Every structure is written in structure tokens, then in C-alpha cells.
Amino acid sequence: MVLQKFESPRFKFMLAPDEGITWHSEGGALRLKGEWKADYTALVTISVFNCTTEVEHLHMSLSGGVIPWIINLFKAPLSSAIKSAIHEEFCDLTRTVLLTEANNALMTLPTHIEITNNIYLDYGLIDDPVITRKYIQGNALIDVTIGNRTCEIPFAPVKLVPPEVNNYMVNIWFSQSIVDCILESAHQNDMLRFVVDKNLQQNLSQFLRTSCDLSPKREICFGTFFEKLRENYPNQHVDLVFKSGKAPNCDVEPVNVGVNTAFFIDIHINPYTKNPKPLARLEMKTQSTMEPHIFNDRIVGELTSTNVQFKQVSSTIGNFNYFFLKALELILKPMITVAVDTALRVGIPIPLVDNVTLANSTVLVKLEKEIRVDANLIYVNDHLPRIFGH
């Protein structure tokens, strides 16, 4: 540690009977430059492995009375002694009290923080950072969840596949387990739940009826396929209550990103809130592929394909034949596609420091079980116009 600037404090000397001369000082300022070593568990801690204090100039000026005149005779050796004392005392203070206070403050930093509305981040540093003259490389465990909870999904360390051209300020590797944690937390919080009823779309109202025209130009509705439904619940509608059967998962590959879901569809007489017992349950599985990219400091996605499959789980109104399940697929698939695409466009926020954002030149690269973000960073001052990176 090097003392770059020193502002002398004010000294006061006093006679102390039987002890000689005592003195104390007040004021003064130090500008320090040092080397620091950090030791990590999950939180950041600091240790000092080298301390060098250099007082370049120390000016002493004493006046008034015999004692200051005598002391001025020994100004040079006193100055040297004070410099040495400052060095020893300050380095000892740095290694003990100041270091303890700094580490105590660091240990109080939360590792579970809310980064935006009801989206939380858990972090822990896995090992010491690698520091060279050209870059700093760190390895951290990060979980992102919806709702105030933690993620228990096992993870594999990323492989850190380097970019072919190193023209970016920052390279960030994300394991697909981060996305899986978000999807699992959404499932655990019962967020993957929605209802399709007669009020959702006009063309759905006819299909969800329990009774419909059975003439040669007949309309197709639920009652067309289920006699028990027509007889026991005439001239009514059904509600389709969707809820995730298990947590969705993603599969990141260099060619695309796949997202797999499994939903239960409970069929109730409308309104389902007053008819809580389902008449039947179906299982719906979807396999979707998406193209991820960066937008407004978020990882977002664009849906490229979706496959939907339905299967009967239980029923009190009769079996669901192939033709009904096919009709259900044709009617619901467009709606499901729009819902998934909308969710993907919302995206996942990338944690950044205040007033720092990603430049337009930022790119996202798909890898095996991970993605890499190659980014240039921009500091945004609220009082200055924004300048985009190249």
C-alpha cells in the first residue's frame, strides 16, 4: 500500500510532570494506493498481503515559548520518527481494525436480492477470480427465481467456450440451469395456470357449449362428442382450467433452444369457481423451439415452432376419441402459441450495475447447455445524451 498524499494533522504539545512531553494531533488526510487479495467462500472477503506506507512530505512548524523552540531544534529526527510511526500504526490498523470492519460489512451483504418486480437473484462466488493485465475472470453460482424462493436444481459448471473474435469488453456465460430455475419457480408459485372460458374469444364460446345443433349442417361443440354432457348439463358451457403438471425445462443446443412443458387440463362446468369438481382431465404436452437474443438488457426469445399433444387422464363423461383431441389441438394451438411467444418476449433481465447498460453490438451465442453473451458496456448519465457502443 502506498500513501500518495498526506495532509498534516494539527499537533498539540503539553508538559507532563514525571513523564516528559505529551502530544496529540487532530485533522489530516491520507490518499492511499494498495494491492488487495480477496479470499472467497460464497461472500467476498478481503485480506491485505502487502502494506507499504510512504509519507513523501511532512512539514512541522512550532511557535510560541521555549518548548516549541527546543523541539524545532530536533525537527528532522522528529519528522523521521513520525513518518515511521505513521507507517507502522497505519499498516497495523489496516491489517486489524479496518480489515475486520471491511469484512464485517461485506459479510452483511445479502446474497438473495430482488433485481426487479418479484424476480430474485441468489449468488455465490465459486472460486477466486483470475486477474491478469488484460482481463479479470470470475466464476459465480447464480440462480434467478420468480417469487421469494431459492432454487435446488443441480447444475454443471459452464465450459467457458471462448469467442472466435475477442472484440468485446465482457463475455458472460450462462448455464441453462438458470432458465430451468426460473421455470421451476414459476411452476412452484402456481403461475403457470390459466383458464379458457366462453368469454376469452368469441369463436371459443360455440366450441365450449354442452349443447349444439345436431342437424346435417351441425355445429361442433363439446356436447357433439359427449352424450352424457349433453344430457346431464344441457345448454351450458365448460371451462378449461390449465395448470402445469410439472416444472417446464429447457434444452440449449448450438442450433436452437427447446422448451418442454406438461399441463393438466381440468374440464369444469362454467363457472369453474362454483363447480370445483372436474368432469374430466386431459394432459397436454408441448415441445417448442425458440431463438434467443438480447433486447433492452434482457434475454428474450422468439418462438419458431410448437408441437402440441393431448392425452386423456380421466373422465366421467365418456372417452376422448382421436377426432375430438385433434379438433382440440386445432382450436387451442394458435392460442397457446401466442401465449408462449408473449412470455418469451418478456424475457429474463440481465443483472447490471446502476447506470450501466448493454450496447447495441451485444450478441448472444448458443452453446451446448449454455449461452454466452458477448457485450460492450455503456455508462449512461441521466444528465447527458446516451451514446451507443459499436
Model confidence pLDDT, tens digit, residues 258-314: 999 999 999 999 999 999 999 999 999 999 999 998 888 888 888 999 999 999 999
Q: What is the pTM of this model?
A: 0.68
Single residue among 107, 124, 159 that ends a domain in this structure: 107
Tally of domains in the chain: 2
* High-pLDDT (> 70) share of the chain, %: 72
**Mean pLDDT for the chain?**
79
Please answer whether residues 155 and 141 qualify as being in contact, where contact means their C-beta atoms are separated by less than 8 angstroms: yes
Residue 279 within any structural domain of the chain: yes
Whether 103 and 248 map to the same domain: the answer is no
Q: Which of 107, 136, 152 is the last residue of a domain?
A: 107
Same domain membership, residue 337 and residue 206: yes
65: left (phi over 0), alpha (psi -120 to 50) or beta: left
> 317 and 191 share a domain?
yes
Per-residue pLDDT at 42: 63
Whether 173 maps to a domain, the answer reads no
200 and 305: one domain?
A: yes
Does some domain include residue 209? yes
Q: Is the pLDDT reported for residue 255 higher than 60?
A: yes
DSSP label at residue 198 = T
218 secondary structure, DSSP code: P
Q: Are residues 339 and 220 part of one domain?
A: yes
The pLDDT-based confidence of 201 (bands split at 50, 70, 90) is: confident
Kindly list the distances between the CA atom of residue 312 and the CA atoms of 42, 124, 281, in Å, as whole numbers in the listed order. Answer: 47, 44, 7
Domain with 91 in it: 2-107
DSSP 61-90: ---SSHHHHHHHHTHHHHHHHHHHHHHHHH
The answer to the question of residue 166 being in a domain is no
Q: What is the pLDDT of residue 308?
A: 92
57 and 206, same structural domain? no
Q: Would you say residue 123 lies in a domain?
A: no
Q: Is residue 49 part of a domain?
A: yes
Q: What pLDDT was estimated at residue 63?
A: 55
Q: Is the pLDDT of residue 374 over 80?
A: yes
- pLDDT per position as a tens digit, 98-151: 677 777 777 777 778 887 778 888 887 777 778 787 888 888 888 888 888 888
